[in-house]
């Protein structure tokens, strides 16, 4: 493979930088059970996150749920989540070190692009002391769209002033791979709680890692030209 050094790194949030699943499950189940609906287990939530809170609530209630019910469950879920998610959502192992590494190697061209609202992503990054290693944060509230729409990642690319082929997107779900394909950005899949390596390969990820801490090694060793001697 031709050596390539990405000029920018873009990261998904939930399941990639943030270990979000327990907090999302707790808030979703608070909303569901308080309004008389059955709870969902952690495995179900891990599989259904990724498309935003509205779609998660819709999946939990089923396709025939009235709009007013969707709205009320979504409201209670959102209120509970905003009040509790910061302390209940630790960084994924290695997130701090990986962000610091890619910040140095790219000269600060690092972004977060998540279907979580950018305001929440920014709060989380600040709470855990990671904001200084992320230049750009985009979400549906800043772009007016969501993954897998290619315009979503294009907003991050424009803010970082890089071309799609000069960036790399890291995410843990098929929707991340689909978003990368739509924006013509290569994707590294992060296998783990939400998706297996085989699922990410099948979706079209360029590479798949099973621990975020493997990303620096991939960038150094798998033809990307980021060896130890390059600043």
The length of the chain is: 231
Backbone angles phi, psi at 107, to 5 degrees: 65, 30
Q: Which residues pair with 14 in a beta bridge?
A: 18
To which residue do tokens 């990303």 refer?
215
Distances (CA, A) of 127 to 40, 58, 80, 111, 121: 28, 29, 18, 17, 10
C-alpha triplet 63, 69, 73: angle, nearest 5°: 100
Extract the tokens encoding 97: 């070190």
Active site residue 12: yes
**CA pair distance 32, 27, nearest whole angstrom:** 9
CA distance 81 to 113: 19
* Degrees to nearest 5, angle at CA 87 with 179 and 124: 40
Other beta carbons within 10 angstroms of residue 193's beta carbon come to 17
What letter would DSSP give residue 203?
Answer: H
**Residue 212 burial by Cβ neighbours in a 10 Å radius (0-12, 13-18, 19+):** buried
Rg (CA), the chain: 17
Just list the catalytic residues. 12
């Amino acid at each position: 493979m031709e050596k390539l050094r990405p000029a920018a790194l873009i990261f998904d949030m939930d399941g990639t930088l943030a270990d979000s699943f327990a907090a999302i499950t707790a808030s979703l189940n608070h909303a569901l059970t308080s309004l008389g609906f059955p709870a969902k287990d952690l495995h179900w939530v891990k599989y259904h996150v990724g498309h935003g809170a509205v779609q998660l609530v819709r999946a939990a209630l089923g396709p025939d749920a009235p709009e007013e019910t969707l709205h009320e469950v979504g409201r209670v879920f959102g209120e509970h989540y905003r009040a509790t998610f910061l302390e209940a959502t630790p960084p994924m192992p290695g997130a701090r070190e990986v962000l610091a590494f890619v910040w140095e190697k790219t000269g600060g061209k690092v972004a977060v692009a998540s279907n979580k609202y950018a305001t929440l992503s920014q709060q989380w990054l600040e709470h855990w002391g990671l904001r200084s290693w992320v230049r750009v944060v985009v979400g549906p509230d800043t772009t007016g769209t969501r993954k897998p729409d290619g315009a979503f990642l294009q907003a991050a690319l424009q803010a970082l002033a890089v071309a799609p082929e000069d960036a790399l997107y890291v995410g843990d779900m098929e929707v991340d791979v689909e978003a990368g394909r739509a924006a013509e950005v290569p994707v590294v899949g992060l296998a783990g709680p939400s998706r297996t390596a085989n699922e990410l390969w099948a979706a079209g990820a360029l590479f798949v890692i099973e621990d975020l801490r493997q990303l620096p090694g991939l960038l150094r060793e798998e033809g990307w030209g980021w060896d130890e001697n390059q600043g």
